[in-house]
């Protein structure tokens, strides 16, 4: 069981900055994120895009913003559970919480701050009516163990990097690899596109373009897919169908935690501390809503700051505290480091 003071769900910019503000109050944080790396959308969707409205940064790349935040919070030694989605929450008798991920990792904290952005990133599923019947029976949206495709016939759909890279990778494992894409052009890295061309010429990948998989065929498990190319529809025999259309955010299991939801976001008390309808659970950043809400990173930073002050009062109801400026108090890390302004030297002039 991982124990911490503030359990933050979502390691995007808002969640990361909350670690800093909590650290100033000597509160330890642990973050859970469904993605394998911190940074949320900034790392996953647009790391190379410049952001122009972070105060005092005339321009900063989203990826650099995340790197800077990671550097800023390093001394506060946050813990991370990455690549796992927060699944369930349980409130204990002492008003603390246990959050369990989809992989069964348990976290215990007196305060939970949901900084989940637009939700957890999950595979985009193509609109094929019967696809749900075959999930985990030959239809996989994520390749977890390539060995399960050894000696099998595989059809992959998609035109981005992951479709190309996995097609290349599986040629050495699977009996056959077929790649179906709606266009003749692929938008992956150039060397991946060249490699697929090479494997196609060598007869190791069958390329079906411009085409679409429109149906899954089978009986309890996948036996083939229906492919539509122009007016022609034909059956392609296979053991596995792997649609790789990238990721899209979904609010996911958090929506079932008993929190008040409005406009696909969690309703919070913005007049006070961004707490939800469940005391002890806060929602900060893009995941929350309140009158006048703006989904901006800079607003998330503000919300994280106020949340931490309230969390401190919840954890230490009897302690008195007033906010200190870092210019006055400096920053004392949990790693023993201390940053502070140089002290003025008093020296008489004779």
Candidates 110, 138, 224, 249: give the one binding another protein (CB under 8 A).
Answer: 249
Give the interface segment with another protein, choosing from 105-113, 129-137, 157-165, 301-309 (CB under 8 A): 157-165
Give the interface segment with another protein, choosing from 17-25, 155-163, 168-176, 315-323 (CB under 8 A): 155-163
Q: Which is nearer to another protein, 295 or 314 (CB)?
A: 295
Compute how many other C-beta atoms are within 10 angstroms of the C-beta atom of residue 328: 8
Nearest distance in Å: CB 110, another protein: 30
- How many residues belong to the site for another protein (CB under 8 A)? 26
* CB within 8 Å of 10: residues ≥ 6 apart: 31, 32, 33, 40, 114, 115, 116, 117, 285, 287
Instruction: Give the rounded distance of the alpha carbon of 126 from its chain centre.
Output: 21
Candidates 127, 230, 292, 342: give the one binding another protein (CB under 8 A).
Answer: 127
91 binds another protein (CB under 8 A): no
228 binds another protein (CB under 8 A): no
Q: Which is nearer to another protein, 192 or 289 (CB)?
A: 289
Nearest distance in Å: CB 125, another protein: 8
158 binds another protein (CB under 8 A): yes
187 binds another protein (CB under 8 A): yes
Q: Which is nearer to another protein, 41 or 310 (CB)?
A: 41
Q: Which is nearer to another protein, 45 or 98 (CB)?
A: 45
Give the interface segment with another protein, choosing from 143-151, 156-164, 193-201, 311-319 (CB under 8 A): 156-164
Nearest distance in Å: CB 159, another protein: 5
Tokens (6 digits) for 56: 């005092």
159 binds another protein (CB under 8 A): yes
126 binds another protein (CB under 8 A): yes
Site for another protein in 255-314 (CB under 8 A): 263-265, 289, 295
> Which of 136, 141, 194 shows the shortest CA–CA distance to 165?
194
> Which of 191, 187, 233 shows the shortest CA–CA distance to 208?
233
160 binds another protein (CB under 8 A): yes
Tokens (6 digits) for 293: 């809400």
- Contact positions vs another protein (CB under 8 A): 41, 45-46, 49, 118, 124, 126-127, 158-160, 181-183, 185, 187, 245-246, 248-249, 251, 263-265, 289, 295
């Amino acid at each position: 069981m991982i124990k911490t003071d503030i359990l933050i769900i979502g390691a995007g910019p808002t969640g990361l900055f909350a670690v800093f503000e909590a650290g100033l109050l000597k509160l330890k944080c642990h973050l859970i994120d469904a993605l394998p790396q911190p940074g949320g959308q900034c790392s996953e969707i647009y790391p190379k895009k410049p952001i122009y409205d972070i105060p005092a940064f005339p321009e900063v790349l989203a990826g650099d913003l995340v790197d800077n935040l990671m550097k800023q919070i390093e001394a506060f030694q946050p813990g991370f559970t990455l690549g796992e989605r927060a699944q369930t929450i349980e409130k204990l008798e002492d008003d603390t919480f246990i959050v369990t991920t989809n992989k069964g990792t348990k976290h215990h904290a007196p305060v939970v701050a949901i900084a989940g952005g637009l939700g957890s990133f999950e595979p985009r599923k193509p609109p094929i009516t019967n696809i749900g019947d075959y999930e985990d029976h030959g239809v996989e949206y994520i390749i977890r163990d390539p060995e399960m495709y050894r000696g099998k016939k595989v059809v992959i759909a998609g035109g981005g990097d992951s479709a190309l890279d996995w097609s290349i990778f599986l040629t050495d494992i699977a009996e056959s690899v077929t790649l179906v894409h709606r266009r003749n052009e692929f938008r992956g890295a150039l060397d991946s596109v060249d490699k697929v061309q090479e494997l196609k010429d060598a007869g190791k990948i069958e390329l079906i373009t411009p085409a679409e998989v429109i149906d899954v065929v089978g009986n309890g498990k996948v036996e083939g897919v229906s492919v539509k190319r122009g007016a022609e529809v034909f059956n392609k025999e296979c053991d596995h169908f792997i649609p790789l259309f990238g990721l899209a955010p979904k609010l996911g299991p958090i929506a079932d935690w008993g929190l008040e939801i409005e406009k696909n976001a969690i309703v919070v008390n913005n007049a006070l501390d961004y707490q939800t309808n469940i005391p002890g659970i806060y929602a900060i950043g893009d995941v929350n809503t309140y009158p006048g809400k703006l989904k901006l990173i800079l607003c998330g930073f503000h919300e994280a700051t106020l949340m931490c002050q309230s969390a401190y009062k919840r954890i230490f109801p009897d302690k008195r505290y007033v906010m200190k400026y870092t210019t006055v108090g400096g920053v004392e890390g949990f790693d023993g480091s201390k940053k502070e302004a140089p002290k003025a030297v008093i020296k008489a002039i004779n």
